[in-house]
Amino acid sequence: MNIRAMCGAIFICSAIAMIPAVSMATIAQGKNEEQISSKLQHLAKTWADKKPEDIVKSMYVDETEITGEGVPELYTGHQALVGLIGHLMESSKSTTIDLNRFKQLTDNVAYTWVTWNVTPADASAPFQMKSLFVWKKIGNDWRIVADMFANGAMPN
């Protein structure tokens, strides 16, 4: 076997050996995106129940920081989060959430861009908000550790 053929064979064997590692990482990322998507759908479905304590316990950590467009405060701490989520729930009748982007940064950290489609509790017109969520995997559960929101839908 000549040197060129031997180098080619070594390259092919090396590439084949890497396929399981790449495939496993892709599978893990897909599973994590699926878990986060499921949590977002649960959030949207339970929003109308108007139980902010349940939402905060299942979606956030006490150290989560939330702020948004036109909001001068940075909300953090369990009671502050419950108060903010409760206020947002009171003003809406229902909501759906579209997962626009998912990016896994490490095995235990990811971020998502989402669009909220909100039907207000009063007779005003439905509207959209966009949020950037930073997620941290704690045990087997993904939780939001930072949340930034603004008016309008997430652009494509």
Q: How high is the pLDDT of residue 14?
A: 52
- The domain made up of 3-151 has a fold known as Nuclear Transport Factor 2; Chain: A, (3.10.450)
* SS3 call for 125: coil
Q: How high is the pLDDT of residue 24?
A: 46
Torsion, Cα 8 12 14 15, to 10 degrees, reads 130
Return the number of other C-beta atoms located less than 10 Å from residue 60's C-beta: 22
Q: What is the DSSP string of 85-96?
A: HHHHHHTEEEEE
Q: How high is the pLDDT of residue 104?
A: 98
Tens-digit pLDDT profile for residues 19-74? 554 444 555 668 999 999 999 999 999 998 999 999 999 999 999 999 999 999 99
- Residue 18 pLDDT > 80: no
What would the two tokens of residue 61 be?
């950590």
* SS3 call for 76: strand
Tens-digit pLDDT profile for residues 90-114? 999 999 999 999 999 999 999 999 9
